[in-house]
Structure 1
């Protein structure tokens, strides 16, 4: 089903999408496959809802967000199972993601009441200058499959808090999680047209979003390639945009670091969601003096990670999303081996009894060099290459990727070194001795080709607001 104007409806065409469990390759169910007509209907509903919604007191908008958060909290077990079945991450990870999704709803429920304008000192005694904060208007959001719940609320919550109706296009691989999020808004009585959901063809659904003049804002999380296309497609109607795009995160370990903590951090960052996260570690740089010890300890930890269906007890590594993702991992490892790297653990496809999905062993590569494909392209899989370095000046130069600038990590006990690194790393997010920096109350986003704008914190709601300057002449 689609959710348009407060109602569950079939697609105009009657077409359906198959939803496949990546652990078993079995079809879970079918859902409505929307097209440009469905997208247009959803946009029209949002446009009609805009004026009454932006006029709704912030306290009332906040109440809807908080009620939806409570609904999701009450259904967390069922929702987590759905996430695991349609995209593969272990169920405990899914629960963690849902917890973050709830945090976004609750945070922006509070931020809705804190959208402040300002007064400006005037240069004329008979003038008063003011800046009003107003919602940008109908917002179209395109969300990814790897965090199918949290990425929806991270966009939807600040938009609704600001007074913007939203049309969501979820990833075709994970529409069931999105449907359950919208069940929450339906059950708490969100006004018709304020939140709409259209799954289906990206070219048709999103194409209508970028062309339609009623849509004033596009927000997207996904690959840099697709993000660039959306920017180009939105140019003709000059939409406001925010893009959270690809990453290639360096993870830097100095010889003074707590090595055990660094190893645990690298495992947490790299292998969460089987390496299918935009801020996961892609390159591990270890100072020469501790490189051998780090590699040994790291490989031991990684070798112990249990691979399997995410619904099973103790599983840490679920399946990759599809065959294309598996092929990319194989390509990167093969190229690294051909260029002299050694595999410390993993390195091949994993067979999981009773499951036919795209499982791959968590892999550690030693002796990686900057010429390898894995050093340049985002892998999006459970492969961790280890590099060595001598000085911090050297590692800064190598760590600052030419194109990407989403997240970076550094482990050190030296406070002055920590400050140096946080200032010199050209990334929108820097974790110092912290492999999981994401939180609802802080800004999330990248620089360079990793994105435009920020999500999270009080910064996130500004992406859905416009400044209106008013000059009042009293004479």
Structure 2
């Protein structure tokens, strides 16, 4: 059977199901949500639109399984997670094609996502023997203070549609190794990746109820999961609006939250930068995954001495980008949905109405073989004010505007003039500026003389409205553990 035939067969088998208590179930009486291929608008499968009852069932299964899962030595939990990582790589070809079918990123980028999915799990597994504590001296005679780390209990993961597999693993890996059980709400636009992970979880042999997957719309099943008293920690990747709603809903039970929200990354290029290197990075950081990355180059601040040269090269490179069927590895695949295409078009119109100058006009492709899909040609603009909506609001698509600056200080001021604080870029050959950047730029993640792409041992965190907590590395792993203090007195 060919890879394509395998992929379509997997999607067919997973359609209509949830994964609860170690088994795939077909919930009765629920509306279904069709899953569309963004490249041609064809329906490739469907999932149940989960409700409060389905949420309760999944959380109950996770709650029942949690104490025995946490009682296992961490290294035993880690071995299962590492086996899942290996199983994902074993099925890499099929998994990548599932991602392309439902999300639309080019195939080589989908392979990269599968690799990242396995890496998140493997790194989490490597933390098993690093779950430590402290013994502190006491003010009292023959007494010690012991600080230990314990699992929270049941963790709910709410993932975005731009990286449906990697984001699930980014949350599930550390949660599981730390001793929590996990309920994944796999986004209704891209639910098959989460269900495929569940299939591989079943093949690996995880205990029943440790990993569960449901699907449905955020205002219904998402709210039911967030509001449930049996949930101890919520890890969510998504919009600021959704994060604010979760923040408010979780307050009644004082749940622990880890929220990765929107971004509006400034891309600063100084007069002493390597222009070609900066252009290469700007292209990669804007147009990878059709601009649907929270750390993308969202607004460019170009020193006036190099702005003309930079824009000429940037536009030339942008015009050469290949747009097409994501299965044949173009530079740009489609946006994930027709609604996203419309949103981007409205944002460009607002920028033009504000007075931004269009340097390269793109937009929805309405003719030829790509017309049925959600394909957008890139648009490049130049702003005259940092107040432009294209300089202030997250675009999340293949559109970027630029603004000229006359100094490093002005660039920093404009860059920090935002409610977001996820990521920022700086290109310069000045060691002074590079050293000052972490003190001056108010963002949780900085890319200095390089394109985006965080690593599993780092720490991915947002400031301001870009979120709470963070993911990855030692710091991200520690967020899935709570601390307990014991005062042990031996003066007996």
TM-score for the superposition, normalised by structure 2: 0.94
Aligned to 1:438: 454
Secondary structure of 1:198's aligned partner: strand
Counterpart pick for 2:353 among 338, 342, 363: 338
1:311-357 per-residue CA deviation (whole Å, 9 max, x = no partner) reads 124x1111112222222222222233333333222332224633402
Distance in 1 (alpha carbons) for counterparts of 2:119 and 2:385: 40
Aligned to 2:307: 291
| Paired positions, count | 474
Change (3 A) 1:401 1:54: farther
Distance in 2 (alpha carbons) for counterparts of 1:167 and 1:336: 40
Aligned to 2:390: 374
1:23 aligns with 2:45: no
1:117 aligns with 2:160: no
1:321 aligns with 2:336: yes
Counterpart pick for 2:149 among 115, 133, 137: 133
Unaligned runs of 5+ in 1: none
Moved more, 193-202 or 357-366: 357-366
1:308 aligns with 2:324: yes
Change (3 A) 1:195 1:368: farther
Aligned to 1:91: 107
Are the counterparts in 1 of residues 216 and 222 from structure 2 also a CA contact under 8 Å? no
Aligned to 1:79: 95
1:50-77 per-residue CA deviation (whole Å, 9 max, x = no partner) reads 1101111111111111111111101111
Aligned to 1:208: 224
1:102-151 per-residue CA deviation (whole Å, 9 max, x = no partner) reads 11000001112211011112112221111010001101110010000100
Secondary structure of 1:44's aligned partner: helix
Are the counterparts in 2 of residues 266 and 435 from structure 1 also a CA contact under 8 Å? yes
Q: Please state how far the C-alpha of 1:197 moved relative to its aligned partner.
A: 0.3
Are the counterparts in 1 of residues 362 and 377 from structure 2 also a CA contact under 8 Å? yes
Unaligned runs of 5+ in 2: 1-16
Aligned to 2:214: 198
Are the counterparts in 1 of residues 147 and 486 from structure 2 also a CA contact under 8 Å? yes
Are the counterparts in 1 of residues 356 and 388 from structure 2 also a CA contact under 8 Å? no
Secondary structure of 1:209's aligned partner: helix
Are the counterparts in 2 of residues 100 and 439 from structure 1 also a CA contact under 8 Å? no
Secondary structure of 2:326's aligned partner: coil
Distance in 2 (alpha carbons) for counterparts of 1:361 and 1:261: 23
Counterpart pick for 2:293 among 266, 277, 281: 277
Distance in 1 (alpha carbons) for counterparts of 2:294 and 2:367: 26
Distance in 1 (alpha carbons) for counterparts of 2:53 and 2:367: 42
The 4+ residue runs of structure 1 with deviation greater than 4 A are none
Counterpart pick for 2:280 among 264, 271, 282: 264
Distance in 1 (alpha carbons) for counterparts of 2:21 and 2:440: 48
Aligned to 2:479: 463
Are the counterparts in 2 of residues 307 and 352 from structure 1 also a CA contact under 8 Å? no
Counterpart pick for 1:404 among 390, 400, 420: 420
Distance in 2 (alpha carbons) for counterparts of 1:368 and 1:43: 51
Aligned to 2:14: none
Aligned to 1:152: 168
Q: Please state how far the C-alpha of 1:264 moved relative to its aligned partner.
A: 0.3
Distance in 2 (alpha carbons) for counterparts of 1:373 and 1:230: 26
Moved more, 204-213 or 427-436: 204-213
TM-score for the superposition, normalised by structure 1: 0.97
Q: Please state how far the C-alpha of 1:14 moved relative to its aligned partner.
A: 4.0
Distance in 2 (alpha carbons) for counterparts of 1:233 and 1:338: 37
Secondary structure of 1:326's aligned partner: helix
1:104 aligns with 2:120: yes
